[in-house]
Copies of this chain bind each other. A is one copy, B any other.
């Protein structure tokens, strides 16, 4: 404890309501004092010497609050984890528990009535019609979305319909291959990320939404030319209300999905939810709570987000052990109930494709769930090309604590630069199941 600071007498930085200001002030002060302390009394801090939480006490107890929280989390595995060996009756009961628990965590509002959606404009594009619609999930709220209807699809010739949910920083226009929100200033472009346009060209109806606080639903960010909205402060406002970003997102997406069920040109017995990256989270929340969905396109790597938080404990050079993601991913109590692979397993026996790999451990578990549900063929998974050869994949039953983000990705067989909409796997699979 030699030379350890016990807190300077700095009144002006102790007002809780000044936190945002002082973070900067304090940080400066701290780094200065820290540097001083190091040169004078302490050898330079080496993060690799402290990869995990440790205690040098004889009684094995921990003084670090962060270490204590880590142990509390470690001691509470998810209550509804999927376990191999369930029979199909047990699987059905377990899926029921997952559904009611997800509904509790998502706090879906039940408005007395929802005003009917309205079409705002319609334009013909090459091979399909694109329409701008508005949904009104709450009083005083508008959620705009785009609908792409292939030529020749109508009430007399309905097609399967895809709800397309984008990734972080993407917009519904990007998914639709549009270059602007204004249809008359926009042009339709073929882009690798234009999920909805790619589906429409295949003859499927595609509905493209924004993630809340992104794109057209951002606040003022577009006025300063920022491409990405501040979804973290929006999430904070929801959390104060006891709600959360995923609950809001899957509620507004679900209202649009329910609208899709009523559209004559869409086959409501062939509704597919297709999520890219961040969009896989609402896919799972809607998926386990809405039995009307026929199939799911999960376009991200599959990981256990709880395990990631528990093992990424390698500190940075300031002695901070970071958290893997921001509070838009915080659903209080979620990780006490289940994790992502459990939720994908709970989608069984409905068809699911995972396109960007993960740990073989998790895929074996999900495959076994589909087998137990009597639908072994209904789950298809693909690894990144870089990890196609099992010899190139890391075989782990448990992630080791004390790693950083890059190591986590490597151990999870993730190739971040190759993260894109995997039409090459998805389109043939859709042909097969639809």
Known: A26-B227, A33-B225, A38-B224. A68 touches B141 (CB 8 A): yes
B-side contacts of A214, CB under 8 Å: 7
Contact: B192 with A225, CB < 8 Å? no
Task: Provide the bound-state CA to CA distance between A315 and B230, in Å.
Answer: 12
| Stretch touching chain B among A84-92, A163-171, A289-297 | A163-171
A323 on interface, CB distance cutoff 8 Å: yes
Task: Provide the bound-state CA to CA distance between A3 and B227, in Å.
Answer: 11
B-side contacts of A276, CB under 8 Å: 14
A392 on interface, CB distance cutoff 8 Å: no
Known: A42-B225, A405-B21. A6 touches B240 (CB 8 A): no
B-side contacts of A315, CB under 8 Å: 219-220
Contact: A303 with B17, CB < 8 Å? yes
Task: Provide the bound-state CA to CA distance between A31 and B239, in Å.
Answer: 28
A76 on interface, CB distance cutoff 8 Å: yes
B-side contacts of A226, CB under 8 Å: 5, 30-31, 33-34, 318-319
B-side contacts of A2, CB under 8 Å: 182, 185
- Indicate how many identical chains form the complex: 2
Smallest Cβ distance from A225 to chain B, in angstroms? 3
Smallest Cβ distance from A344 to chain B, in angstroms? 15
B-side contacts of A50, CB under 8 Å: 220, 223
B-side contacts of A333, CB under 8 Å: 240-242
| Stretch touching chain B among A122-130, A173-181, A266-274 | A173-181
Known: A61-B141, A236-B327, A405-B20. A7 touches B332 (CB 8 A): no
Smallest Cβ distance from A85 to chain B, in angstroms? 28
Most buried by B among A62, A69, A315: A69
Smallest Cβ distance from A18 to chain B, in angstroms? 6
Residues in A226-243 with C-beta less than 8 Å from chain B: 226-231, 233-234, 236-242
Contact: B61 with A4, CB < 8 Å? no
The contact of A57 among B29, B142, B223, B326, by CB within 8 Å, is B142
The contact of A325 among B19, B26, B323, B334, by CB within 8 Å, is B19
A56 on interface, CB distance cutoff 8 Å: no
Smallest Cβ distance from A426 to chain B, in angstroms? 15
Known: A18-B405, A33-B227. A68 touches B174 (CB 8 A): no
Smallest Cβ distance from A152 to chain B, in angstroms? 28
B-side contacts of A382, CB under 8 Å: none
A410 on interface, CB distance cutoff 8 Å: no
B-side contacts of A332, CB under 8 Å: 239-242, 332
The contact of A64 among B6, B66, B218, B318, by CB within 8 Å, is B218
Residues in A272-304 with C-beta less than 8 Å from chain B: 276-278, 281, 300-301, 303
B-side contacts of A36, CB under 8 Å: 225
What are 18 sample pairs from A and B whose C-beta atoms fall under 8 A apart?
A: A9-B191, A11-B192, A12-B417, A13-B169, A14-B277, A15-B414, A16-B329, A17-B409, A20-B324, A20-B325, A22-B169, A34-B226, A38-B224, A73-B237, A221-B318, A239-B239, A239-B327, A242-B333
CB-CB nearest 9 A-B residue pairs = A37-B225, A34-B225, A242-B333, A220-B319, A14-B167, A6-B173, A7-B171, A69-B237, A65-B212
